[in-house]
């Protein structure tokens, strides 16, 4: 599928590899390498090269090994790659392991302070005098370990020919234009480049060259995008409790709300954000606010979702609109809190005791985190129910190239809310009275001063007028009406997206952050002469399109990042007549899924 973008080759050699390789940097957590890694990522992006970066970090503040992988792909593949052609080793503790990572023919850069044997003959090896260069920089001694990481940026830049201006741009962005740190870091990059120019002889085939494949994109994270989307969705209230990998969503609300949501006339806030004492309180506050008529959100990860379970069930039953973001991490228990997973599908879909099920949105890109950020409120208020957005650590915390955020193309939809003048016109109103026959009743909110506006919200059985009731029929009717709403929501959630391949008889269903890996796997499989149609789920409950897709294929592989094939379970329950043609392909090791894993998993099944 690739058409070479004809980069300007500076080192024409038959084997030269341009804009098509992966880099892994091994450092120590807390050593400040994040600035260097993001600088590289952003420089490549500004050179116009499709790129992705993934932080594979430990649950630790300082000291444990951490890796950052960057993939450059002239063909636009941004999933994590299984192989790494260039390795930069800055951590003595993982030196041997990092050395073994390098693909044959690849490159190994290392901090020359690390005195460990290098026996591989199939790779190019470049030592870097990290200490020497960072000491020579005018960095104050307390910042020296931070700038030490800039040494590898400079050496790499020289060897693979990264555009220095782009590095500068990346640093300017990172330090928000503050000249002192920009200069400090940039000087180290420059001296490292000079040192490399004088002392290293290029003997490897890898280089980068400008392209024009990223100008239509921005770079952001899913959590930033989710927060911004919520702000454009008119969020008025958020309550949260810190947890990796969800914290930066609420922190982004705190960052952008004051910019975007101060009343221009009065300079007053049209929002409130509360850091709660725990997730029990966070969702309680969010439900109070949603019930009170505010567009209300809470954001958390698996452990928090577990704590929110009881209140989520009440919100479903009492028909309170709220939006809950679950930025998934690896469980059960504390699990691997800094690793990614899609292990909360069942938990979230059915959160609560008794008969509960929820509308769940499944963003597949950073841009879609923005889109679902605002759409979630419209759905929650339209259907008067909690709406969950299931993101994950990879999507939420990593920087991705993504199309620019698009202004909402629909007006804010606040659903059936009655104010004083509406009640004047309505003779018979009951909070749970289905006046329209669509299962969605009309609600009033506190502050409505009409004499008939007030009602009592409860978790106990109730009649159409919200009065306490233990009547069996009333219970059943009410639960049926909730189900009717759910079925209606099925027709209103974002529909699945089809990526077809000519003549495909088999299909793949996936969702969320695995999307780029599945698309790449489609191409890989095609080169093996296996055409696969891919359907990307964007929400639960599944839509008619999903059923049709499954029915139209001989076999459908369900690819997801958990052990038990949770989405596969849901699909077999919802499409029982096709249960035998749905094949589960789960994988859950904490790392973002790769195309080759998917390719091999499908090849294994297809060729057996």
Q: Looking only at residues 274 through 293 of this chain, which bind another protein when binding is defined by CB under 8 A?
A: 274, 276-278, 280-293
- Smallest distance from another protein to CB 577, Å: 39
β-pairing, 65-73 vs 20-28, is antiparallel
- Smallest distance from another protein to CB 324, Å: 13
Query: How many whole angstroms from its chain centre is CA 590?
Result: 14
Q: Binding residue for another protein (CB under 8 A) from 108, 126, 206, 232?
A: 232
152 contributes a contact to another protein by CB under 8 A: no
Q: Binding residue for another protein (CB under 8 A) from 63, 104, 446, 500?
A: 446
- Smallest distance from another protein to CB 2, Å: 26
CA 179 → CA 189, 220, 447, distances in Å? 15, 23, 51
Q: How far apart, in whole angstroms, are the C-alpha atoms of residue 304 and residue 323?
A: 14
547 contributes a contact to another protein by CB under 8 A: no
440 contributes a contact to another protein by CB under 8 A: no
Contact (Cβ atoms closer than 8 angstroms) between residue 508 and residue 387: no
- Smallest distance from another protein to CB 380, Å: 14
The residue assigned the tokens 């039953």 is: 317
557 contributes a contact to another protein by CB under 8 A: no
3-state secondary structure of 56: strand
Q: How many residues bind another protein, per CB under 8 A?
A: 81
Q: Binding residue for another protein (CB under 8 A) from 104, 242, 332, 459?
A: 459
- Smallest distance from another protein to CB 33, Å: 18
Q: Binding residue for another protein (CB under 8 A) from 201, 268, 425, 607?
A: 268
Closest to 188 measured CA to CA, from 224, 249, 138, 125: 138
- Smallest distance from another protein to CB 44, Å: 11
Closest to 340 measured CA to CA, from 355, 329, 356: 329
297 contributes a contact to another protein by CB under 8 A: no
What is the b/e burial string over 224-247, where b = at least 16 CB atoms within 10 angstroms of the residue's CB? Answer: bbbbbbbbbbbbbbbbbbebbbbb
Name the β-bridge partners of 220.
400
110 contributes a contact to another protein by CB under 8 A: no
Q: How far apart, in whole angstroms, are the C-alpha atoms of residue 391 and residue 400?
A: 14
Q: How far apart, in whole angstroms, are the C-alpha atoms of residue 460 and residue 291?
A: 16
Q: How far apart, in whole angstroms, are the C-alpha atoms of residue 431 and residue 453?
A: 9
595 contributes a contact to another protein by CB under 8 A: no
Residue 163 CB neighbour total at 10 angstroms:
17
- Smallest distance from another protein to CB 231, Å: 7
Q: How far apart, in whole angstroms, are the C-alpha atoms of residue 261 and residue 256?
A: 8
317 contributes a contact to another protein by CB under 8 A: no
Residues 491-530 that bind another protein (CB under 8 A): none
Q: Binding residue for another protein (CB under 8 A) from 202, 295, 481, 538?
A: 295
Q: List the structure tokens of 399.
A: 């920087």
Residue 55 φ/ψ, nearest 5 degrees: -90, 115
Q: Which stretch binds another protein (CB under 8 A): 18-26, 128-136, 271-279, 582-590?
A: 271-279
Q: Which stretch binds another protein (CB under 8 A): 19-27, 28-36, 110-118, 225-233?
A: 225-233
Q: How far apart, in whole angstroms, are the C-alpha atoms of residue 598 and residue 520?
A: 9
Tell me whether residue 235 or residue 379 sits nearer to another protein (CB atom): 235
- Smallest distance from another protein to CB 242, Å: 15
- Smallest distance from another protein to CB 319, Å: 12
Q: How far apart, in whole angstroms, are the C-alpha atoms of residue 256 and residue 231?
A: 8
215 contributes a contact to another protein by CB under 8 A: no
Q: Binding residue for another protein (CB under 8 A) from 96, 197, 412, 544?
A: 412
Per DSSP, which regions of 491-531 are E strands? 497-499, 506-511
Q: List the structure tokens of 356.
A: 């509960």
Q: Binding residue for another protein (CB under 8 A) from 467, 501, 581, 600?
A: 467
The sheet with strand 555-560 has its strands ordered as 497-499, 532-537, 506-511, 555-560, 582-586
Residues 348-377 that bind another protein (CB under 8 A): none
Contacts of 198 (CB under 8 A, 6+ apart): none
256 contributes a contact to another protein by CB under 8 A: yes
Q: Binding residue for another protein (CB under 8 A) from 68, 241, 405, 432?
A: 405
Site string for another protein, 60-99 (x = CB under 8 A): ----------------------------------------
Give the relative orientation of helices 366-383 and 472-490 as an angle to the nearest 10 degrees: 150
Q: Binding residue for another protein (CB under 8 A) from 207, 236, 348, 562?
A: 236
448 contributes a contact to another protein by CB under 8 A: yes
Residue 125 CB neighbour total at 10 angstroms:
15
316 contributes a contact to another protein by CB under 8 A: no
- Smallest distance from another protein to CB 331, Å: 23
Q: List the structure tokens of 525.
A: 């499989």
Q: How far apart, in whole angstroms, are the C-alpha atoms of residue 145 and residue 138?
A: 13
Contacts of 291 (CB under 8 A, 6+ apart): 318, 320, 445, 446, 457
Q: Binding residue for another protein (CB under 8 A) from 14, 411, 437, 503?
A: 411
Contact (Cβ atoms closer than 8 angstroms) between residue 526 and residue 481: no
Q: Which stretch binds another protein (CB under 8 A): 8-16, 120-128, 446-454, 598-606?
A: 446-454
Tell me whether residue 156 or residue 219 sits nearer to another protein (CB atom): 219
Q: Which stretch binds another protein (CB under 8 A): 152-160, 385-393, 441-449, 520-528?
A: 441-449
Tell me whether residue 46 or residue 536 sits nearer to another protein (CB atom): 46
3-state secondary structure of 65: strand
Q: Binding residue for another protein (CB under 8 A) from 7, 53, 233, 337?
A: 233
Give the relative orientation of helices 544-551 and 566-574 as an angle to the nearest 10 degrees: 90
Q: Binding residue for another protein (CB under 8 A) from 6, 142, 266, 527?
A: 266
Residues 163-182 that bind another protein (CB under 8 A): 170, 173
Residues 26-55 that bind another protein (CB under 8 A): 42, 45-46
Closest to 89 measured CA to CA, from 80, 100, 105, 79: 100
- Smallest distance from another protein to CB 228, Å: 6
- Smallest distance from another protein to CB 282, Å: 8
Tell me whether residue 194 or residue 212 sits nearer to another protein (CB atom): 212
Q: Which stretch binds another protein (CB under 8 A): 131-139, 270-278, 555-563, 577-585?
A: 270-278
Contacts of 485 (CB under 8 A, 6+ apart): 383, 384, 385, 438, 439, 440
């Amino acid at each position: 599928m690739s058409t070479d973008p004809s980069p300007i080759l500076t080192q024409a050699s038959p084997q030269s590899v341009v804009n098509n390789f992966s880099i892994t940097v091994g450092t120590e957590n807390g050593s400040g390498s994040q600035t260097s890694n993001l600088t590289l990522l952003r420089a490549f992006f500004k050179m116009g090269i499709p790129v992705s970066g993934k932080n594979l970090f430990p649950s630790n503040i300082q000291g444990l090994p951490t890796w950052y992988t960057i993939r450059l792909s002239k063909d636009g593949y941004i999933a994590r790659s299984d192989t790494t052609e260039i390795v930069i080793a800055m951590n003595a503790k993982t030196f041997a392991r990092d050395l073994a990572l390098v693909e044959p023919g690849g490159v190994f850069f290392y901090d020359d302070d690390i005195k460990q044997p290098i026996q591989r003959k199939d790779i190019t090896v470049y030592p870097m005098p990290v200490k020497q260069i960072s000491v020579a920089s005018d960095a104050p001694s307390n910042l020296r370990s931070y700038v030490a990481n800039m040494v590898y940026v400079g050496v790499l830049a020289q060897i693979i020919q990264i555009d220095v201006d782009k590095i500068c741009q990346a640093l300017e962005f990172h330090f928000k234009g503050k000249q002192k740190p920009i200069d400090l870091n940039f000087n180290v990059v420059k001296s490292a480049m000079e040192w490399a120019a004088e002392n290293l002889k290029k003997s490897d085939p890898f280089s980068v060259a400008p392209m024009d494949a990223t100008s239509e994109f921005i770079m952001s994270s899913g959590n930033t995008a989710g927060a911004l989307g919520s702000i454009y969705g008119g969020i008025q209230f958020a309550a949260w409790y810190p947890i990796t990998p969800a914290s930066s969503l609420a922190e982004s609300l705190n960052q952008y709300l004051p910019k975007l949501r101060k009343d221009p006339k009065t300079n007053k806030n049209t929002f409130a954000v509360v850091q709660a004492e725990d997730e029990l309180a966070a969702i309680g506050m969010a439900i109070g606010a949603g019930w009170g008529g505010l567009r209300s959100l809470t954001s958390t990860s698996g452990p928090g979702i577990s704590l929110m379970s009881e209140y989520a069930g009440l919100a479903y039953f009492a028909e309170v609109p709220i939006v809950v973001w679950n930025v998934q991490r690896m469980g059960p228990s504390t699990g691997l809190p800094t690793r990614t997973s899609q292990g909360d599908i069942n938990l979230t879909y059915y959160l609560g005791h008794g008969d509960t099920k929820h509308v769940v949105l499944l963003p597949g890109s950073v841009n879609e985190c923005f889109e679902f950020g605002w759409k979630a409120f419209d759905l929650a208020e339209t259907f008067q129910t909690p709406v969950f957005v299931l993101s994950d650590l990879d999507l939420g915390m990593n920087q991705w190239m993504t199309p620019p955020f698009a202004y909402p193309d629909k007006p804010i939809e606040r659903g059936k809310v009655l104010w004083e003048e509406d009640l004047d016109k309505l003779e018979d109103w009951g909070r749970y009275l289905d006046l329209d026959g669509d299962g969605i009743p009309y609600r009033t909110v506190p502050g409505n001063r009409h004499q008939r506006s007030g009602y009592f919200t409860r978790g106990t059985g109730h009649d159409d007028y919200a009065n306490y009731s233990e009547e069996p029929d009333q219970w059943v009717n009410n639960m049926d009406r909730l189900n009717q709403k759910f079925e209606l929501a099925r027709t209103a959630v974002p529909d699945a997206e089809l990526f077809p391949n000519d003549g495909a008889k088999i299909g793949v269903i996936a969702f969320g952050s695995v999307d780029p890996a599945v698309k790449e796997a489609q191409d890989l499989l095609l080169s093996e002469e296996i055409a696969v149609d891919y359907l990307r789920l964007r929400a639960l409950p599944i839509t008619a399109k999903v059923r049709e897709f499954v029915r139209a294929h001989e076999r459908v592989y369900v690819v997801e990042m958990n052990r038990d094939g949770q989405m596969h379970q849901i699909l077999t329950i919802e499409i029982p007549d096709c249960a035998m043609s749905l094949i589960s392909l789960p994988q859950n090791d904490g790392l973002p899924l790769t195309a080759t894993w998917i390719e091999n998993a499908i090849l294994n099944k297809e060729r057996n």
